[in-house]
Amino acid sequence: MNRPNRRVHLRRAQSFASRCLASPLRARVLLPLLLVTLATGEALAERYLSLAEAQRVCFSQADEFEAQTIRLTAEESKAIEQKSGAKVRDRESRIWLARKGTNLFGLFMLDHVFGKHEVIEYAVAVSPEGKLLQVEILEYREHYGSEIRNAKWREQFKGKTGTSKLRLNDDIYNISGATISCRNVTDGVRRVLATFELVVWPRLLAAGKLPGTAAKP
């Protein structure tokens, strides 16, 4: 398991400890702060999947991922917020078209939300028709609540579309001790599907990127 954030923090902690040991007085004052730093959620950040790994997990048959940058207008952002009930915090996002030759398997959409204190980075795989195929957690920085990475919890999202409720404690069950992360990821997925339906799909259709379509003149 790749844990670059943990290694970075460990190196910083080791450097900090070395400076402390150079002075007994400094050590008595600063070492308790070191222990607090190591106990924070940031030091426990977990990188579960790289971008490339997540793409392969979601679309194992694809041999090409065509990157696209989606920039939302103010009107599009407002429409997405109205449909999803979730705030659009970033009007620019990246998506990838998963292909093998002329076959389009779907879209890989990268997104992030906040847990209680820290960012949760995740990806949503969507079919060309807008049906959710998979949700993967790439990085989780919170001290608690990483149970949202459990396959059983993420399985609930499969088959959802922009018309699905996608509400915690309704069609998505909660995990005790991870309520904030569950709610915010659920809201984020609902926003991503609304973005696909209202913006991404129409743009791809107009550009002839979807199966059986040609670019409009």
Select from 88, 57, 85 the least CA-distant residue to 154: 57
Would you state the structure tokens that stand for residue 109, as one six-digit string?
């959409």
Q: Are 80 and 90 in contact (CB under 8 A)?
A: no
pLDDT score of 22: 54
* 26 SS3 class: helix
* 172 SS3 class: strand
Q: How far apart are CA 111 and CA 54, in angstroms?
A: 12
pLDDT score of 44: 56
pLDDT score of 196: 97
Using left for φ > 0, alpha for ψ between -120 and 50, and beta otherwise, residue 177 falls in left
What residues pair up with 168 in beta bridges, in sequence order? 172
As separate numbers, helices (DSSP H) first and strands (DSSP E) second, the chain gives 7, 6
Q: Are 129 and 146 in contact (CB under 8 A)?
A: no
- Rounded to 5°, the CA angle 66-127-90 comes to 65
Burial class (CB in 10 A: 0-12, 13-18, 19+), 77: middle
pLDDT in tens, the chain (217 residues): 444 444 444 454 455 455 555 555 545 544 554 444 444 444 456 899 999 999 999 999 999 999 999 999 999 999 999 999 999 999 999 999 999 999 999 999 999 999 888 999 999 999 999 999 999 999 999 888 889 999 999 999 999 999 999 999 999 999 999 999 999 999 999 999 999 999 999 999 999 988 866 566 5
**Which residues in 132-148 are b (16+ Cβ under 10 Å) and which e?**
bbbbbbbbbbbbebbeb
Edge-to-edge order in the sheet of strand 92-100: 46-47, 132-140, 119-126, 103-114, 92-100, 64-71
Would you state the structure tokens that stand for residue 91, as one six-digit string?
């009007």
Name residue, tokens 């979601």: 58
pLDDT score of 211: 81
